[in-house]
Amino acid sequence: MAMIVFVIFWIICGAVAATIASSKGGSALIGFIVGVLLGPLGIIIAFFIGNEKAAAEAQIQSGDRKKCPRCAELVQPDALVCKHCGHEFDTKATPIG
């Protein structure tokens, strides 16, 4: 009986890790494998699984951020000056995607 509970717990850890990894733009399959193999530690690791480039593109597409043409860092869409390099944005320009 204890073995069944143990196996179910680790499968649940895998499912949670897969969900987290998928929501961050990563692979759900890799998240599941990490969660099943590492259990609760796998859930924590799943927070770091993800495609940062895809997440940045999603922010640009949704209008939550815009990319600075000079340093390529993401800034607020209504920013007038890039906080990373000091580039001044044209107030009439649209966000760069």
Q: Collect the ranges in the chain with pLDDT lower than 50.
A: 93
Instruction: Match 């680790």 to its residue by tokens.
Output: 10
Distance between CA atoms of residues 96 and 81, nearest Å: 14
pLDDT at 94: 53
Structure tokens at 93: 């320009």
Cβ–Cβ under 8 Å, residues 67 and 60: yes
pLDDT at 17: 92
User: Helices marked H in 1-97 — which ranges?
Assistant: 2-23, 28-38, 40-46, 52-62
pLDDT at 32: 93
Enclosing H/E stretch for 66: strand 66-67
